[in-house]
Copies of this chain bind each other. A is one copy, B any other.
Amino acid sequence: MGRSIYVAPAIFNCSFPDTGNAEALLDYGSSDQVERYARPLLEGDVRSCFALTEPDAASSDPTNISTRATLDGDEWVLDGHKWWISGAMGASYALVMAVTDPDAPPHARASMLIVPVDSEGFEVVRALPVMGHSAGYGHCELRFDSVRVPRDSLLGARGEGFPIAQARLGPGRIHHCMRAIGTAERAFELMCMRAGERVTRGERLADKQMVQDFVALSRIEIDAARLAVLHAAWTIDTVGKNAARQQISQIKVQVAHMQQAVVDRAIQVHGALGLSEDTPLAGMWRIARALRFGDGPDEVHKVVIARRELARFAA
């Protein structure tokens, strides 16, 4: 496909998944890779995608993937099936995680490869509809059918796919949380404006305590979420990504719930209008639901958080 009519303008480069890909390339790439892939991304000339998730592997456990990359002379040959690959349409290249060493220990089986989307055998099967939204959000299903890339397409070392994915996901999660706070603030504004305008039985919705309850809880939850995200970001900046892992898991759970709760209340104040496409709320509702499992479901993060806490108190 290569550059196409779908190529997004430079302003999209603060979007998922380009932010995370740029960080991964800068952290693990050779100087040549930085020049060829990171620079045009940062300059807004191209977009990219990140191909990890597969239909037959729980995305909470990336050691289960089955896409294979085998060396054939000076080339890697990829075969496999991925889905929910955001932004694949119009992307210039993909970072693809594939098994290169099936007999290695689970966390050393996979490597990360840079694969141009116009490579032969690289098929964008379809954009997956989300919540009935036929156009979806550009989350694509991909197939690799003997896709060949040069031997030096490896990002980082052979077998280093898993740690690269992990390093990429932590900051990726905080970006998602930041976007979710913006979404929630917008839903909050819409809720307050509607409550101020809509009159029923002679009283504005804004004057009814049940609506005031929605507003107060939403303000409390949004502010708490923002402070937690700022704290996690400050921890990354001052102590590093690794030290911030607990906070990142915490905000992932907290912010996803907050976002869904706030959008739910905003829809309730709008009634049927909130399900229509006449406001952004219906779109927010679809996105909010996805954050509860995207980049690790609530449940996986909660287990991780609890184990770290419990370990502090173990005899």
Interface residues of A (CB under 8 A from B): 53, 58-61, 64, 83-84, 128-134, 139, 188-189, 192-193, 195-201, 206, 208-217, 219-220, 223-225, 227-228, 231, 247, 250, 253-254, 264, 267-268, 271-272, 275-277, 282-283, 285-286, 289-290, 292-294, 297-299, 301-303, 305-307, 309-310, 312-315
* Contact status B315-A196, CB under 8 Å: yes
Partner of A227, one of B231, B264, B272: B231
* Contact status A299-B58, CB under 8 Å: no
Nearest to A193 among chain B residues (CB) is: B313
* Contact status A275-B289, CB under 8 Å: yes
* Contact status B216-A303, CB under 8 Å: yes
A102 to chain B, nearest CB (A): 17
Partner of A58, one of B206, B231, B271, B312: B271
* Contact status A134-B131, CB under 8 Å: no
The 10 closest A-B pairs by CB, nearest first: A132-B133, A212-B306, A209-B209, A58-B200, A216-B302, A192-B313, A215-B306, A216-B305, A227-B227, A224-B224
Nearest to A270 among chain B residues (CB) is: B293
Given contacts A212-B303, A213-B302, 10 further A-B contacts (CB under 8 A): A58-B199, A58-B271, A128-B272, A132-B282, A139-B272, A210-B213, A212-B306, A224-B228, A271-B293, A285-B289
Chain A, interface SS category: helix
CB contact under 8 A between A61 and B292, given known A302-B212, A303-B216: no
List B contacts of A227 (CB < 8 A): 224, 227-228, 231
Partner of A303, one of B209, B225, B285: B209
A9 to chain B, nearest CB (A): 24
List B contacts of A208 (CB < 8 A): 209, 299
